[in-house]
Amino acid sequence: MKRHVLTLFELTAEEIHEVFALSHELKRDLAAGIREPILPGRVMAMLFEKQSLRTRVSFETAMAHLGGSTLFLGQDVGWGKRESAADFSQVLSSYVDVVVCRTTAHSRIEELAQYCTCPVINGLTDSAHPCQALADLFTLEEIHGKLEGKKLAFIGDSNNVAKSLAVCCAKLGMEFAVASPSGYTFDKPFLAELEREVPGAKLTQTAKPREAVRDAIGVYTDVWTSMGQEAESEQRKIAFKDYQVDVALMEGAPEGAVFLHCLPAKRGEEVTADVIDGHYSAVIPQAANRMHVQKGLIAWLLGERP
């Protein structure tokens, strides 16, 4: 059966654990020098409208390790310009086995998925970044073991990354605490959807970073100004000036708590260099896990792993 992964609302907790189990297995295989070509001849289209390092390279490498191949499609293919969305989506998915899409408005990927006859994976939209959140929680599981009942803190803008983390935490029985200034908290439609789709989700919203990090096994932040928000940069520097993750804030979390960031980072803004480059930081293994978890997700979606 065709499955899309546009947000993590579309996966059950059991399915997330299945993806994690596959990812762990494939990561162990790779460490042992095994790159079993379980997807020979399969082709992934990568439809990207925004810049990318981690998402693009990790997906391309993952597919190569699995024995398949990728096509990188930029603006030249004319998505939404040269022909109707229905024609474009049906033709594209008649050529390939899976599509990874990184675009602006979430409605664009929903329209693409509506007509695609193969799975569509969200590589980032303005409201969701599910593959990032899966890799983040996978990283915490590697470090801290079973996640249920534990807490993750997010400091900063309640953006697409924070939303996907909130959903993933809720699905896996974790508490998610967000510290944001006024005007940068979760919007009401998202909160209503979270409550409707994952009743009883443990979500805390606060304006106090120290309150958010208390009892948290991970402290997460993102840039204050994301792609497409450059005109708001100065305004955001003022709004988020009290939301920097520094050593003093990390010391407010329990011993063993790690620092996470989806990268790229701006040292001296949302995080100090002694945190992101110091002993708290798990950002490099976190970034590396993008490939391992996406490999598990691809294998899970295409049903080629026993």
Distance CA 106, CA 290 (A): 21
Q: Cβ atoms within 10 A of the Cβ of 215, count? A: 14
Catalytic residue among 4, 131, 132, 286: 132
Told to judge if 76 belongs to the known catalytic residues of this protein, a careful annotator would answer no
- Distances, alpha carbon 35 to alpha carbons 26, 60, 139, 148, in Å: 8, 14, 21, 31
Told to judge if 90 belongs to the known catalytic residues of this protein, a careful annotator would answer no
C-alpha angle with apex 211: 201 to 222, nearest 5 degrees? 75
Catalytic residue among 222, 261, 286, 305: 222
Told to judge if 102 belongs to the known catalytic residues of this protein, a careful annotator would answer yes
Catalytic residue among 131, 262, 286, 294: 262
Told to judge if 17 belongs to the known catalytic residues of this protein, a careful annotator would answer no
Catalytic residue among 54, 65, 129, 236: 129
Q: What is the DSSP letter of 232?
A: G
- Which phi and psi (to 5°) does residue 258 adopt? -115, 155
Told to judge if 262 belongs to the known catalytic residues of this protein, a careful annotator would answer yes
What are the tokens at 27?
């990561």
- Distances, alpha carbon 237 to alpha carbons 57, 204, 222, 269, in Å: 30, 24, 13, 8
Give the residues across from 120 on adjacent strands: 99
Catalytic residue among 4, 290, 292, 305: 290
Catalytic residue among 4, 54, 65, 102: 102
Catalytic residues: 102, 129, 132, 222, 262, 290
